[in-house]
Amino acid sequence: MLTTIAAIPAAAAMQWSRFICNLLDVNAELSMPHTRIEIPTDDGACPTHIHRPDGRGPWPGVIVYMDAVGIRPAMVEIAERIANAGYYVLLPDLFYRVDFDVSQGLKLFTDPAFRHDVMTRVMPSASHANVMRDTEALLRHLSERRDVHNDRIGVTGYCMGGRLAVYAAGYLGDRLRAAASFGWVPRDTPVHDEAATAKHWKTLLALFADTLHDEDAARR
């Protein structure tokens, strides 16, 4: 198997969903139903948005990992865009283990006390270990769906979620077809074991911002 790692500046970031579409050989421009369920996990029940194309499928499955601001319209829009490209998409709320008011999420950029709480209490609840346990539950859900291609599963994420996507790439190995990260690479990810990763991995796309001057875009 081939491992391909690409680092692409922010100007190319909008191409990531098209890359995944081409990789898994699906067609775009499909209508998209949306539901919300709770998926049982080892630690409780994870609220999860499901976006999928209209019709019977089967479609490739994609897990979208959120950022630290939480599940909000911007994250839902990402899931919708991927579903419109022909995927069965899961968007889990990874902060379900703690109390977190997503309506206050943008205070992360303006309120030092709120940011400290998010960094020290909320984000640790979405640790690598916790999220990989959640991911096992999400994969079980996908495996039970007749409208999902279980040999064509990918993960992606933004910011904190990008880090989780890279970690999942190394952790899950050949159980995934592809991963795309718009975020950063954690130092303790299994993907850093290049020799081990090369045995399992096919394609990893990593997108990193070179500069960011638009504060409104950052907050969104």
Six-digit token string for 46? 């994870």
pLDDT at 220: 45
Burial of 143 (0-12, 13-18, 19+ CB in 10 A): exposed
Strand order in the sheet with 34-41: 4-8, 203-207, 178-183, 148-159, 59-65, 88-92, 44-51, 34-41
pTM: 0.77
43 vs 32: CA distance, rounded Å: 30
Six-digit token string for 79? 């899931």
Pick the CATH number of 17-203+214-219 from 3.40.50.720, 3.40.462.20, 3.40.640.10, 3.40.50.1820: 3.40.50.1820
- Please write the tens of the pLDDT for every residue from 14-52: 444 444 445 444 444 444 789 999 999 999 999 999 999
- Please write the tens of the pLDDT for every residue from 109-131: 999 999 999 999 999 999 999 99
Burial of 52 (0-12, 13-18, 19+ CB in 10 A): buried
